[in-house]
Amino acid sequence: MKWRALAVAGIAACALAPWPAPGADATDDRIAVSADGATLTGTSGGGGGSLGWLHNFDADSLAGVAAEHQVLGVARWTFGSLNGSLTRGPENQRYSVYAEAHEGAGDDGQRAFHYRIEGAGVAGTYFHRLSVQIEDKQIDVEGTSGNLPKVGVSYLWNPHLQTQAGYSSSVSGNLGTHLATARIDEYNAAVNLFAGIAFGQAAPTIILNFQSGLAQSRQLHEGYVGASKLLPPLRSEVTLVADYQNLSGIKHATLTLNYIFHVGHSSGRP
């Protein structure tokens, strides 16, 4: 699993977030393209990219498919993704159920491995401000497997400021992961800004996508910053994210650029 995708949450996956984005059109098709470059202690680093398609059947239902390829050090892996969400309820009490599946394979320079992650969750949004999320993921990537539940809360203080916090703790297998996360978003007319942190104990496979000879969990400290901007004349939006992780001395930095093109109508706010 890419912890970067969980922590940053403002890149391609942001369009599949279970909490509906204000101002989203009733129907919309989006093409999402991302590219990233990374450094990693003791290696030549790596990079990758993804291509996805997102479709709103209406204002309350969304589905998407994507393909992604990544290289980091001697490891490389490719996987496909399916995502979907459905929202129901009155305006002041909305509930969303969502699910995702990532299936693929790769190799670490010595042996091949399977890449398999499935997840599902439910989120409730109350009075357009408070959102509470419960999620569970099943992870099976290169000898590391287990169940990783998560709880999260988000609060929109005003139309320009939102904060989020979450906690994930593995309950089975050999994940050995217990992570806390926090994030803040500032929405502006010109550009939207966000930043966040993650800290705690994590399995190397979850953070770095491959085992790299490290079987035991290690202490993680992560920080990231990003910005997204609507481009109405181009019917698109672009997001840039810089992410830094320190896993008990193993340092990993990633720069990701994500571009979403609206095939139908352009959205209000990403």
- Which pLDDT band, with edges at 50, 70 and 90, does 267 fall under? very low
Parent domain of 132: 3-262
Whether residue 169 contacts residue 202, with contact meaning beta carbons closer than 8 Å, is answered with no
As a whole number, mean pLDDT of residues 183-205 equals: 92
Tokens of 12: 């391609």
CATH for 221? 2.40.160.40
Within a domain: residue 68? yes
Count of domains observed in the chain: 1
pLDDT of 237 reads 95
Average pLDDT over residues 159-167: 97
Type of residue at 96: S
User: For residue 76, is pLDDT > 70?
Assistant: yes
In a domain, 207, yes or no: yes
pLDDT tier, 13 (very low <50, low <70, confident <90, very high otherwise):
very low
Which of 87, 51, 49 has its CA nearest to residue 67?
51
Is 267 a member of any domain?
A: no
Evaluate whether residue 138 is within a structural domain.
yes
The burial class, CB within 10 Å (0-12 / 13-18 / 19+), for 5 is middle
| Residue 130 resides in a domain | yes
Query: Rounded to whole angstroms, how far apart are CA atoms 211 and 74?
Result: 11
Whole-prediction pTM: 0.85
Residue 269 lies in a domain: no
pLDDT score recorded for residue 1: 38
Residue 270 located in a structural domain: no
